[in-house]
Amino acid sequence: MRYKPLSAATYREHRARFRQHLEKGGMAVFHSNDIMPTSADGSMPFHQAADIMYLCGIDQEESILLLFPDAYDPKDREILFVRETSPTIAIWEGAKLTQQEAGALSGVATVLWTTAYEATIKRLAPQAAHLYLNSNEHLRQSTEVETREVRRNKELRALYPLHSIRRSAPIMHRIRSRKTAEEVEQIKHAIGITGKAFQRVLRFLRPGVMEYEVEAEITHEFIRNGSRGHAYTPIIGSGYNACVLHYITNDAACNNGDLVLMDFGCEYGGYASDLTRTVPVNGTFSPRQRDVYNAVLRVQKEATKLLLPGVFLDQYHKQVGELMERELIGLGLLDKAAVAKQDPAKPLYKKYFMHGTSHFLGLDVHDVGLWTEPIAEGMVFTVEPGIYIPEEKLGIRIENNILVTKDGQIDLFAGIPREVEEIEALMAQGKKAVA
């Protein structure tokens, strides 16, 4: 295992949080993700489903977690099913977790082989009043393939059509959005590695390098520090490419006089980090670039202050839009009189800042959370305003990750340079080191 997992005590705490929201007689089941095929005999790297990872830390395919607090036998109140290993599997794939190892990692006392799942469900379902089934209810999800969880949910519905069905997703969105102490430390570890990668890029970047070379420098730093890689597909966009929000081809040259927007973050132990920095390819901002950059930076700093317990995210985003309006007027991109007369449903700032400012961060880079409930202590958000001016081949975004506390915020990327002067000074040092 490349990473240090959370403690069994933290996984027990996560499960306790979930149990508090179950109705009496509720039985919940969570499944691992599939290993997805490519073609021929190829497959994609396994990526564990975030909810089962959150509840027990088992980062292995074909695992199942069953939670049934009202089961008659105490041994049936938490059951973890893991894939049984064999000499053949050990030779070709590497040994899987033993029952003892899975129990020690997860803190679940009853660990069975996955082959025991069907018989166990048939034995316990008659005791249950409600079946809590999980599903991907993320606001932005668009899943075209049938997941293992969807298949298994269909099977349970068919086997027990008279049981009432409850949704686990709203519970998971609520409890996962408030991070436990060890989760915050895991995110900090990911952020530390991401910061090292940014420092490496500042020393490496120069006119003529390819965007994919920058990506390679970042990937190298991630892997050498124990990360399994990127938490999401990195965006390395120079010049006009910085104005394409989800630009991921990363195949153009970084030209003298252009800025390069880099949106990347490493994954560590399943947890994501999410950084964006925009820097001059030649190491020096032009006056126009500096003005636009500092406008974005001012919005980011002020937006961070607005992330407070009790605030709703839709209200927060409206306030950030007002901050951006003022900056765009100051840059001559918006007319003050036109802004005063604008349709509130179609704010003019959206021409230059068309995406949201903040999203939840955790096991997923766009982590789950409830927009219908206020921000609370322990939540982690990105803050990532940007200004995009395609006609000037100028796109700037600055992004940090913020922990909300009862008194305000902690910037988890506070040590990573973002001021114009800091960036120029570090890039100048890099040039001297190369020379």
Residues acting as catalytic residues: 41, 246, 263, 274, 355, 359, 366, 384, 388, 397, 399
Query: Alpha-carbon distance 184 to 266, whole Å?
Result: 15
DSSP 40: T
Q: What is the DSSP annotation of 350-419?
A: GGT--S-S--B-SSSSS----TTS---TT-EEEE--EEEEGGGTEEEE-BEEEEE-SSSEEETTTTS--S
Query: Alpha-carbon distance 11 to 349, whole Å?
Result: 43
Angle between helices 148-159 and 117-124 (to 10 degrees): 40
3-class SS of residue 259:
strand
Task: Give the residue among 193, 224, 202, 216 at the shortest CA–CA distance from 433.
Answer: 202
Query: Alpha-carbon distance 383 to 367, whole Å?
Result: 14
Q: Are 56 and 67 in contact (CB under 8 A)?
A: no
Q: In what order do the strands lie in the sheet with 271-272?
A: 229-230, 266-268, 271-272
Which value, to the nearest 10 degrees, does the dihedral of the CA atoms of residues 133, 46, 262, 315 take? 10
Query: Alpha-carbon distance 56 to 81, whole Å?
Result: 11
Query: Alpha-carbon distance 376 to 382, whole Å?
Result: 15
Which value, to the nearest 10 degrees, does the dihedral of the CA atoms of residues 370, 374, 379, 383 take? 90
Q: Are 63 and 80 in contact (CB under 8 A)?
A: yes
Cβ atoms within 10 A of the Cβ of 130, count? 16
Task: Give the residue among 53, 309, 63, 76 at the shortest CA–CA distance from 172.
Answer: 53
Q: Are 266 and 230 in contact (CB under 8 A)?
A: yes
